[in-house]
Chain A
Amino acid sequence: EIVLTQSPTTMAASPGEKVTLTCRASSSVSYMHWYQQRSGTSPKLWIYETSKLASGVPNRFSGSGSGTSYSLTINSMETEDAATYYCQQGSSYPLTFGSGTKLEIK
């Protein structure tokens, strides 16, 4: 099983600040997918295949990485971006998720 480790666990950012969330895989994966989950709601696909933005995702978001190290970046933090973000790998079964990064607004 591929274990995904996300860092930081929790962070707070000010409006306008650049934010980078990291996901590290225990083995090399071909792509990484990311989900946003606001409190009390279902996860939403946010970034797929490492760098492709899901429909409706603002272009201040971007994704990058390869092998065992991936990241999600917000160019300029906005209030609405406060949520928990999960990474997920689809390179091998069982499909696995990271433990999440809770992003708060300062």
Chain B
Amino acid sequence: QVTLKESGPGMLQPSKTLSLTCSFSGFSLSTSGMVVSWIRQPSGKSLEWLAAIDWDGDKYYNPSLKSRLTVSKDTSNTQVFLKITSVDTADTATYYCARTLLPGYPFFDYWGQGVMVTVSS
């Protein structure tokens, strides 16, 4: 059974660094073809893909935010992390992690429940 769960600070101040963790089970990120992505959704708005990391450790970023994003994974291949630097109110959103299975044209077959992050002074 595949499950993913996001965790984060809930609230942080502008200009700080947001650190998020995605803990998952039911698959290993060391398995060929596995990819975990971060996607966010401001309240009442659409979805924005942020970044991904694959089984080989290759990383992919949305160019619109690339300079502020860092995605990584742990050595046990059961957690993926996302850091966003210099946050501001526009980063207030629900953040999801989701799994993709390659090869093919990437889509997200399993999603976490999401973690709400509010940026406010």
Contact = CB atoms under 8 A, between A and B. Distances in A.
Interface string A86-97: 101111011111
SS class, residues of chain A in contact with chain B = loop
A49 B103 CA distance: 12
Contacts of B111: 42-44
Interface in B89-104: 96, 104
B11 interface: no
B113 A42 contact: yes
Interface residues of B, number: 23
Contact of A97 (B49, B63, B105): B49
B49 A49 contact: no
Nearest to A92: B105
A33 interface: yes
B96 A48 contact: no
Contacts of A88: 47, 107-108
Contacts of B105: 29-31, 33, 49, 89-91
Contact of B109 (A45, A96, A100): A45
A88 to B, nearest CB: 6
A54 interface: yes
Contacts of A1: 63-64
B27 interface: no
Nearest to B4: A42
Interface centre among A31, A90, A100 (most CB of B within 10 A): A90
B60 A93 contact: yes
7 contacts: A1-B63, A45-B108, A48-B107, A88-B108, A90-B105, A91-B105, A97-B48
Interface of A: 1, 29-31, 33, 35, 42-45, 48-49, 54, 86, 88-91, 93-100
